């Protein structure tokens, strides 16, 4: 990912925009972005995701725009949790590093993006 920036306003809604670059030699057929929202202490507050509308050819770049989630409807459930992403995983040892700082009116401190994709294998 490159050229990440925040656009919009509290009145119109915020979005993160940037470019996803495919440096590989195979097509990224189903580009998927995982959005991790963090609190001021670096803890994970919320996750979201978005699929890009089209594949990305090898050695190519595609623009994306993802509207930010609102923290307004998010409320603690009160249910105690002991796992992180399931029983086989442990919480991160340190706070998550945010790629983009967010305005206070979003209800989050920052966000980070992780890109994944399905890659088409070449036919023999």
- Closest alpha carbon to 20 in 65, 66, 68, 64: 64
Look at residue 95 and give its three-state secondary structure: coil
Architecture of the domain delimited by 2-72+89-116: Sandwich (2.60)
101 DSSP β-pair partners: 110
pLDDT band at 41 (very low <50, low <70, confident <90, very high): confident
Residue 92 CB burial class (10 angstroms; 0-12, 13-18, ≥19): exposed
| pLDDT tens digits, 113-124 | 888 887 666 666
The pLDDT tens digits of the residues spanning 58-82 come to 999 999 999 988 766 666 667 665 5
């Amino acid at each position: 990912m490159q050229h990440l920036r925040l656009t919009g306003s509290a009145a119109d809604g915020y979005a993160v925009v940037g470019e996803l670059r495919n440096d590989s030699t195979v097509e990224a057929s189903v580009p998927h972005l995982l959005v991790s929202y963090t609190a001021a202490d670096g803890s994970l507050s919320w996750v979201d995701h978005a699929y890009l509308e089209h594949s990305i050819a090898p050695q190519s770049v595609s623009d994306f725009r993802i509207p930010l989630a609102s923290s307004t409807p998010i409320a603690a459930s009160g249910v105690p949790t002991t796992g992180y992403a399931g029983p086989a995983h442990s919480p991160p040892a340190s706070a998550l590093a945010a790629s983009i700082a967010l305005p206070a009116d979003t209800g989050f401190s920052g966000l980070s993006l992780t890109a994944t994709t399905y890659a088409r294998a070449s036919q023999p």
